[in-house]
Amino acid sequence: MKGYILEGIGTALWKDDLAMPKAGPGEVVIKPVIVSPCTSDVHILETMAFPFMKGRALGHEAAGVVHEVGPEVKDFKTGDRVAVPSAITNWKIPEAQEGYDKYDSLSPYLNPDPRLQGCFAEYYLVKDADLNVARIPDTVTWEQAVMITDMATTAFEGVRWLNLKYGDTVVVYGIGPVGLMAVCGAALRGAGRIFGVGSRQVCFDVAREYGATDLVNYRDGDVAAQILEKNNGPVDAVIVCGGSDISAIASAMKMVRPGGTVTNVAAFMHDKEFVLPNDIWGYGCTDKTLRTVSARGGRAFMERLLALVEFGRFHPEKMATHIYRGMEHIPESLEKMGGKDRTAIKPVVFF
Amino acid sequence: MKGYILEGIGTALWKDDLAMPKAGPGEVVIKPVIVSPCTSDVHILETMAFPFMKGRALGHEAAGVVHEVGPEVKDFKTGDRVAVPSAITNWKIPEAQEGYDKYDSLSPYLNPDPRLQGCFAEYYLVKDADLNVARIPDTVTWEQAVMITDMATTAFEGVRWLNLKYGDTVVVYGIGPVGLMAVCGAALRGAGRIFGVGSRQVCFDVAREYGATDLVNYRDGDVAAQILEKNNGPVDAVIVCGGSDISAIASAMKMVRPGGTVTNVAAFMHDKEFVLPNDIWGYGCTDKTLRTVSARGGRAFMERLLALVEFGRFHPEKMATHIYRGMEHIPESLEKMGGKDRTAIKPVVFF
Amino acid sequence: MKGYILEGIGTALWKDDLAMPKAGPGEVVIKPVIVSPCTSDVHILETMAFPFMKGRALGHEAAGVVHEVGPEVKDFKTGDRVAVPSAITNWKIPEAQEGYDKYDSLSPYLNPDPRLQGCFAEYYLVKDADLNVARIPDTVTWEQAVMITDMATTAFEGVRWLNLKYGDTVVVYGIGPVGLMAVCGAALRGAGRIFGVGSRQVCFDVAREYGATDLVNYRDGDVAAQILEKNNGPVDAVIVCGGSDISAIASAMKMVRPGGTVTNVAAFMHDKEFVLPNDIWGYGCTDKTLRTVSARGGRAFMERLLALVEFGRFHPEKMATHIYRGMEHIPESLEKMGGKDRTAIKPVVFF
Amino acid sequence: MKGYILEGIGTALWKDDLAMPKAGPGEVVIKPVIVSPCTSDVHILETMAFPFMKGRALGHEAAGVVHEVGPEVKDFKTGDRVAVPSAITNWKIPEAQEGYDKYDSLSPYLNPDPRLQGCFAEYYLVKDADLNVARIPDTVTWEQAVMITDMATTAFEGVRWLNLKYGDTVVVYGIGPVGLMAVCGAALRGAGRIFGVGSRQVCFDVAREYGATDLVNYRDGDVAAQILEKNNGPVDAVIVCGGSDISAIASAMKMVRPGGTVTNVAAFMHDKEFVLPNDIWGYGCTDKTLRTVSARGGRAFMERLLALVEFGRFHPEKMATHIYRGMEHIPESLEKMGGKDRTAIKPVVFF
C-alpha cells in the first residue's frame, strides 16, 4: 500500500510498501476517494509539530468509501460513502457527556497507536467509526463532502460560539477556506451585514457569493480602523480565521462593541505571547468575550453540516479552485496550499 | 382626518371627521404610506375581541413617514421613513429589563388612552417612539417594511424559541404569511430540511422560494402521519403558525422527537381547551418542550429584521400578492385577507 | 444468588437460585450495599408496565461495591464504592453526542438483554460501566449516595430546564422525595422564594430545612389560587413533581407568569389526556414554556451531584426516614413507599 | 447641604454649602442612611480617573430613604427605603432592549449633568428612578442593602457569565468584598468545590462561611500551580475579582480546563497591556472563554439580589467589619478601605 509519509522536518516521501491496515473492533478502513491539503499539513511538514506523525502518512481531510468494517461496527458497511472529520475523538469518556470528547484524541496527530495514519494513503484506519465517521447523503458530491471535514467543522463551530442574533453585524477576519466557511456559517445563523477581511480577489469573489456584504483589504490599512469607519462604529461579533500573526485577535477585540464576542479558530503557532492593549477592553471592565475554538468532531455534527449541503443551504465546493486527479498530485497540492498562488483557495485531489 | 373605524361586531365604517392626533412627550404622529390587513383585524372585526377598539381605527401593520415629533423624542424627525411594530409596548418598566415589555401594552388594542388609534387612518399616534418605532434603511422598500411589522416579528420570535442547531429538521405548520416568514426565519438559523404544511399553491410556491424543501398538503391526510413517514421518523422542531383548530399543537407534539421543541405563534381564539393525548409525551416523561410565543416588539428587534432585509437575507415582499392603491381599498383588502381567495397571501394597501 | 423477582401483576417473589451475573466487555457486576424503593417500583409491580421486567429482579436505586470488572472497563476496580443511575443508557450512539443518550436504554426496564436485572438482588450487571457508573467520594455516605441515583437526577434535571435566574420565585408542586430534591436544586440555582406544595408534615419539615420559604397544603384549597394569593401574583417557574392527576400541570401553567416556565418530572400513567383550559395561555398567545423532563443519566452528571453532596451543598440523607437492615426487608420497604404512612419520605434498605 | 467633594488628585474636602438637589421628571432625591466606600473611590481620589467627578461628592454605594419624588415617578414615594446601584444607567435606549443599558451612563462618574453628585452627601439625585432604584424588603437591613449596590451586582454578574453547571469547581481569585460576594454567587449557582484565593485571615474566615471549600494564600507561591496541584488538574471556571496586577487573568487562564471559562470583574487601571503566554490556550486552539464583566445595574437585577437576601440565601452583612456612625467618618472609612488594615473587609458609614 502506498502513502505519503512524513519523515522529518521538511521531508515527506512516497512509500509503497506500507502495511495494509486491518479493522479491529469498532474500526473501519477507509479508501479515500478525495482528499484536500490543509495549511496545517504544510505547517506540520515544515515543523514536525506533532511528533507522533513521524513515519506516518500526512493528511486529515478526506472523504471516501468504507473498505473494511471491523467487528462491533453497527452503522456502516463496505462501500458506504463517508466523510471523516479532522478531529477524530474518543466519545466513550465521561467528559464527552459534557462536550469534551476532543481532549482524548484518536487522530494520528495526537494518538500513539502505531496503526494510525493520515489520509494521504491508499487506505487508512479510523477508530470508533460509529461515532466519528459521517455518512454522505446521495446528493452531496465528493468535493462538497471533503470541504466539511475540517474547513466547515472549524468555521461553523467558531460561529456557533459567537451566539449570533438575527441581524448581527459580523466580521470574518481572514477569508481563506475556513473564513469562507465562516461567512456561510454566519449567514446561516442570521447575520445581517458581514465583513470579509482578506486580500485576494478569488477569496473576495467567493466571499461575496457566500454572503459577505463588505470586503476589506488588509493591505489598505489598519483593519480595525477600516471596519470601525465603514460600519460607523464597532461590530457585534468577530471570528478570527487567520492573520499574519496573533495581533489579529487584538485587532478583533478592538473592533467589537461592548457586550460583543470574538472567537478565534486560527492557530498562531509562531507567536510566544498574545498582547492586548489594556484600554481595548476598558482595563478589564468593558464587557467583551473572547473564545478560542478548535474544530469540532463527532459524527452527529458532521452529519448536520452535510445535511445543510444536502438541502442547499451552502455550497462548499466553490472553494475547490484546483482539482487534481491522481494521488501522485498530493505534493503538488500541498505546494499549492502552502504557496503563494493567489488564485488558489483549496485544492482537492481525487485518488 | 379620515379613518376606518370599528363600530361593533361585524361593523366598521369610514369616518372623515376624526380629530387630528397631536404628539405629546415621546410620541410621534405617523402618516401611513402602506398598511396591510391581518387575519386578526378580521377576527377583531368579527368578534370585538378587544373592547378598547370600539370607536377606534382598525389596523396594526404599517410603515410610513413621521408627520410630527413630540417633545423628548430624540432619534426621529419629520419625514423619516419608519415601520411600527404590531406590539407597541412600554419599555420603561423594570420588567422590560428582563424582556417582559410586552405585558404593558401601548397598542390601541390593549391600552385605554383615547388618543390611540389603529393604522387604518390618515394619521395615528405612536407612544415612546424612540423605543418602538424602527427606522427603515434606504434600500428597503415599503412593501418589505410593512411585512416586518407583524408577520416577521411573530415568526422570527417563534423560530428563536426553537433554539435551532445547524442542520435541524423543522416543520412549519401553516404556511400563511406568518408561516412563510417562519420558513425564512428557520433557514436563517441554520435549519436543514424544512417541511411546509399548507394547501394553497401560491403559498407552496413562495415557501419553496423561501427555503422549504418539502411541502405537505394537510388535505392529503393526517399531517403528523405524513411527516413521520416522509422524514422517516420524528423531526427536531415544529413551529405552529396556523391550523383549523388547536389540535394542530397536539399534532406538532406528536411529530417532534424526544428532546425536541414545539413553538406556537397562532391564536386559537375559538377553542376552549387544548387537549393532548398523554402518550404523545410519554405520560409526562418524554423530554419535549412546548412554548407559546407572541409577536415581539421593540425598535431594536425591528431594526435587526430590517437589517436582514437590507442585506438581502430574505425577501418578504414576495408575500405581497395583492397591491391596492388608495386607502379606500382597505375594506376590500380585509375581505381578501379573511376571504377564500386561494391566490392571496398578504394584500397591502398604499395610501 | 438471591433476588426479589417480578412475576406478574401484583406479584413479586424471592428466588434464591438466580444465576450469578458475569461481567462481559465494558460491564461490571455490582454488589448493592444500599437500595431504595421508588414509587415507580410500586407502579411496575401493580401494573407490569414494563414487559421486559417479567422474571427480573425489581429495583433501580442502588449504591454498592464493584464485585467484578469485565474486560475493557478502564476506570473501576473490584471494591470501588459506586452509585448507579436509574437511567442506564447507551452513550455510544451519535444521538448521545447531542444529549439523547437516554433513548437507547441499557436499563432492565427497557432493554431485552436477558442478563439484566434490577438492583433488588445480591448482585447485578451494569453495562458500559465507565459511562454509567459513578464513583462515590470517600466522605459521601451510602444513604446520601443512593438518594442521588434517581431522586436527585430527576429533580435537578427538571430544575435545570427551568433556566432560573438569581432571585426567581419557584413553586415545587409535590414535595415527596423528588420534590424535596427539587427544592435543593432550585436553591442551588439561585431561587429566592420557594413554595413547596404538599400535605404531610414530615415533608414540610424537610422542605423547610432544604430551603423552601413557603409551604402550601393542597388540602387547603385550589393550589393555583393559594399561590397566586400568597405571592400576590404569578410566579417565575414551577416544577411539577407529583399530584393526584395530570391536572397538576394545568394548575402549574395557571400560576406561572407570562414569560415563565413549567417543567414536569412526574409520570401521570393513569391519565389518558392532558387538558389545558385555553385561556390559561392566552389562547396560545401568552409566552409560557412547558417542558416534560425525565431523569438524566450518565456518570458525569451523577458525579457532579455527588460532588455537591461531598462539598456540603445539600443533604439528601435527611429524606431517609426509614432505614432497614437486611435485604429481606425489601417488600416491607416497598409497602412503606407505596403505602399511606404519612411519616415516610424515602425508606432505604441496607443489604 | 453637606458633602465630601473631590477637588483634585489626592484632595477631597467637606463642603457644607452645596445646593440642595431638586427632583426633576423621573428623578428622586435620596437621603443616604448608609454608605460604603469602595476601592474605586480611593482610586478616583488618587488619580481623578473620571474628570466629571471634579467638584462632585464622591461615593457610589448607598442605601437610604426617598426624600423627594419628581414628576412622572410612579413606583416610589417619600420615605421609601431604597438601594441605588453603582451603575445608574439609561434604560430608555434601544440598546437596553438587548442588555446594553450600561453604555449610556446616568452616574455622576460618566454623565456631565452638573446636578449629579455621588452619595457622600446629605442628599443626592438619581435619574430614572423607576428603572434604577430598588425597593428594600422590610426584613433586609441597611448593612445588607448597601452591600448589594456594587459588591453583589458586580460579583453575581461575573458569576453569571461563568455559565456554571451543578458541581463545577470554581476559583474565586481575590476574596476582597467583591470576591466574597462571588463565593456566594457561585454557591448559589450550584458550584461544588470553591477555591478562594487571598491572604488575609478575616477574608478567609468569611469566605469559608460563605461556602468556599479551599483557601489558597497567594503568598505561598504561584497561584495557578497551587490550585492545579490541590485540584489534581485544572478547574471548570475562574472569576478574577482582584490581584496585584493584570497577570492574574493569565494565571486564571492557566488554571482553567479546556472548555472552561474565566471572567474578570477587576479593574486593572495601572497596566498598559494584558499579556498571555500563547501556550496557555494552545496557540489559540484550546477552547477557553475569557469574559470581562462590569457591574450590572437596573432595578430588576437589584431587586432580585435583595430577594435572595430577604429569603436568607446569602448574608452580605458579614462583610461589614467596621461600622461608623456619622457622616463625618467618611474620610476615615476611605482610609480603612484603601489602607493596609488586614482586619477590614468593607467599612460602612451610617449617616
Per residue, the 3-state secondary structure of chain A, as one string, reads CCEEEEEECCEEEEECCCCCCCCCCCCEEEEEEEECCCHHHHHHHHHCCCHHHCCCECCCCEEEEEEEECCCCCCCCCCCEEEECCCCECCCCHHHHHCCHHHCECCCCCCCCCCCCCCCECCEEECCHHHHCEECCCCCCHHHHHHHHHHHHHHHHHHHCCCCCCCCCEEEECCCHHHHHHHHHHHCCCCCCEEEEECCHHHHHHHHHHCCCEEEEHHHCCHHHHHHHHCCCCEEEEEECCCCCCHHHHHHHHHEEEEEEEEECCCCCCCCEEEEEHHHHHHHCCCEEEEECCCCCCHHHHHHHHHHHHCCCCCHHHHCCEEEECHHHHHHHHHHHHCCCCCCCCEEEEC
Pairing of strands D194-198, D170-173: parallel
Q: Closest to B283 (Cβ–Cβ): which among C269, C278, C287?
A: C269
Which residues of D are less than 8 Å from C311 in CB distance? Answer: 192-194, 213
pLDDT, position B102: 83
Q: What Rg, from alpha-carbon coordinates, does chain D have?
A: 20
Split at pLDDT 50, 70, 90, the class of A132 is: very high
What is residue B105's DSSP assignment? B
Split at pLDDT 50, 70, 90, the class of A102 is: confident
Chain C residue with the nearest C-alpha to that of A296: C97
Q: What is the pLDDT of residues A3-32, one digit of tens each?
A: 999 999 999 999 999 999 999 999 999 999
Chain B residue with the nearest C-alpha to that of D95: B300
> Which of D40, D89, D104, D290 to substitute to test the interface with A, most A CBs within 10 Å?
D290
* Chain B residues within 8 Å of chain D (Cβ atoms): 91-98, 101, 130-131, 298-301, 303
Cα of A208 to nearest chain B Cα, Å? 12
Chain A residue with the nearest C-alpha to that of C132: A94
> Which of C40, C292, C293, C296 to substitute to test the interface with B, most B CBs within 10 Å?
C292
**Is residue B340 scored above 80 in pLDDT?**
no
pLDDT, position A198: 97
Q: Closest to C131 (Cβ–Cβ): which among A92, A101, A301?
A: A92
Q: What is the pLDDT of residues C157-209, one digit of tens each?
A: 999 999 999 999 999 999 999 999 999 999 999 999 999 999 999 999 999 99
Chain A residue with the nearest C-alpha to that of B300: A167
How many residues in chain D?
Answer: 351
**Is residue C20 scored above 80 in pLDDT?**
yes
Q: Closest to B167 (Cβ–Cβ): which among A190, A213, A307?
A: A307
Split at pLDDT 50, 70, 90, the class of A340 is: confident
Interchain contact, D93 vs B298, CB within 8 Å: no
Cα of D15 to nearest chain A Cα, Å? 32
**Is residue C341 scored above 90 in pLDDT?**
no
Please, what CATH class does the domain formed by C3-152+295-350 belong to?
alpha beta
> Which of A92, A97, A128 to substitute to test the interface with C, most C CBs within 10 Å?
A97
Split at pLDDT 50, 70, 90, the class of A204 is: very high
Cα of A230 to nearest chain B Cα, Å? 15
Q: Is B75 exposed, middle or buried (0-12, 13-18, 19+ CB in 10 A)?
A: middle
Q: Say how many C-beta atoms besides its own lie within 10 A of residue B141's C-beta.
A: 15
pLDDT, position A103: 78
Average pLDDT in chain A: 96
Cα of A262 to nearest chain D Cα, Å? 10
User: What gap in Å lies between CA D206 and CA A9, rounded to an integer?
Assistant: 56
Interchain contact, C92 vs A131, CB within 8 Å: yes
Q: Closest to A273 (Cβ–Cβ): which among D275, D285, D292?
A: D275
Question: Which of the residue ranges A38-47, A174-183, D271-280 would you say has the lowest mean pLDDT?
Answer: A38-47
Interchain contact, B283 vs C267, CB within 8 Å: yes
Tell me the average pLDDT across C322-340: 93
Cα of C289 to nearest chain B Cα, Å? 4
Q: What is the pLDDT of residues B111-146, one digit of tens each?
A: 999 999 999 999 999 999 999 999 999 999 999 999
* Chain A residues within 8 Å of chain C (Cβ atoms): 91-98, 101, 130-131, 298-301, 303
pLDDT, position D343: 94
pLDDT, position A220: 98
Interchain contact, B301 vs D97, CB within 8 Å: yes
Cα of D57 to nearest chain B Cα, Å? 28
Q: Closest to D278 (Cβ–Cβ): which among A103, A165, A271?
A: A271
* Chain D residues within 8 Å of chain C (Cβ atoms): 156, 160, 165-169, 185, 187-194, 211, 213, 301, 303-308, 310-313
- Taking the domains of chain A in order of start, what are their residue ranges? 3-152+295-350, 162-292
How far CA D183 is from CA of A212, B186, B256, D196, D308, in Å, comes to 44, 41, 41, 8, 14
Which residues of D are less than 8 Å from C306 in CB distance? Answer: 167
Split at pLDDT 50, 70, 90, the class of C155 is: very high
Q: What is the pLDDT of residues B31-60, one digit of tens each?
A: 999 999 999 899 999 988 899 999 999 999
Interchain contact, D156 vs C166, CB within 8 Å: yes
pLDDT, position A49: 86
Chain D residue with the nearest C-alpha to that of B101: D97
Q: Closest to A192 (Cβ–Cβ): which among B165, B189, B313?
A: B313
Type and span of the H or E element at B202: helix B201-210
Chain D residue with the nearest C-alpha to that of B93: D131
**Is residue C339 scored above 80 in pLDDT?**
no
Cα of D1 to nearest chain C Cα, Å? 37
Pairing of strands A256-264, A288-292: parallel
Interchain contact, B276 vs C278, CB within 8 Å: no
Q: Closest to C300 (Cβ–Cβ): which among A91, A98, A299?
A: A98
* Amino acid residing at B301: F
Interchain contact, D192 vs C311, CB within 8 Å: yes
Which residues of D are less than 8 Å from B101 in CB distance? Answer: 97
> In chain D, which residues have pLDDT < 70?
none
**Is residue A262 scored above 80 in pLDDT?**
yes
Chain A residue with the nearest C-alpha to that of D277: A273
Instruction: Compute CA D70 distance to the chain's CA centroid, rounded to the nearest angstrom.
Output: 28
Contact residues for A316 (Cβ-Cβ < 8 A; gap 6+): A143, A144, A147, A148, A151, A152, A181, A184, A309
User: What gap in Å lies between CA A110 and CA A127, rounded to an integer?
Assistant: 13
What is residue C328's DSSP assignment? G
Interchain contact, A97 vs C300, CB within 8 Å: yes
pLDDT, position D161: 98
What global pTM score does this model have? 0.97
Contact residues for B254 (Cβ-Cβ < 8 A; gap 6+): B224, B228, B277, B280
Interchain contact, D311 vs C193, CB within 8 Å: yes
Which residues of A are less than 8 Å from B306 in CB distance? Answer: 167
How far CA D42 is from CA of A320, B101, C201, D46, D338, in Å, comes to 60, 39, 54, 6, 6
Three-state DSSP at B340 gives: coil
Average pLDDT in chain B: 96
Interchain contact, B278 vs C271, CB within 8 Å: yes
Which residues of B are less than 8 Å from A209 in CB distance? Answer: none
Split at pLDDT 50, 70, 90, the class of A287 is: very high
Which residues of D are less than 8 Å from A246 in CB distance? Answer: 278, 284
Q: Which CATH number fits domain A162-292: 3.40.50.720, 3.40.50.10860, 3.20.20.70, 3.40.430.10?
A: 3.40.50.720
**Is residue A53 scored above 80 in pLDDT?**
yes
Q: What is the pLDDT of residues D10-28, one digit of tens each?
A: 999 999 999 999 999 999 9
Crossing angle of the two packed helices B330-338 and B39-47, in degrees rounded to 10? 100
pLDDT, position C180: 98
Chain D residue with the nearest C-alpha to that of A102: D258
What is residue C220's DSSP assignment? G
pLDDT, position C176: 97
Average pLDDT in chain C: 96
- Picking from B313, B247, B256, the residue whose alpha carbon sits closest to that of residue B277 is B247
